Amino acid sequence: MLSRRIKSVIPMLVSVFLITGCGTSVQEDIDGVYVYEKEGFGGEFTITLNKDGTFQYYEGGLSSSLGSGTWTLEDELLCITEENAPHPRTNYFLVEDGSLVFQAEGSDNFTFVTVLDSEQFNASES
């Protein structure tokens, strides 16, 4: 009787482990600092993705603002959303080979730097 109960619980535990593991590993794989392939607004334009689902971006040394909000990843489409900005923005990126590839369609873009479709933010090596 006991062995039947154990056998019925094992598939459930395996399912829970797999579901939890997949969600966690996706965020851990893309968290980090990404640098725009072109010049930012007086310096490097960076996007930082945190493991907790938050992000910050800094458009460069001449920028007086730091954008922040939350990010989600569905398949390979990254969505960053600034909920508390004076003008809330949402921007989309494809995650490809360690880079974030900007998707202009549906994106609001940024304050000081206009990122063009398919331009990239590459993972920082530091």
- Structure tokens belonging to residue 91: 């921007």
Query: Phi and psi for 18 in degrees, rounded to 5?
Result: -65, -45
Q: Please, what is the average pLDDT of the chain?
A: 81
Give 18's pLDDT tier (boundaries 50, 70, 90).
Answer: very low
Expressed in angstroms, the distance from the first to the final Cα of the chain is: 56
The model's pTM is 0.75
Residue 3: pLDDT band (50, 70, 90) is low
- Buried b / exposed e over 5-36, threshold 16 CB at 10 Å, is eeeeeeeeeeeeeeeeeeeeeebeebebbbbb
pLDDT in tens, 27-65: 448 999 999 999 888 899 999 999 999 999 999 888 777
Which distant-in-sequence residues (6+ apart) come within 8 Å of 106 by Cβ?
90, 92
- pLDDT per residue as tens digits for the range 60-104: 888 777 889 999 999 999 999 998 878 889 999 999 998 999 999
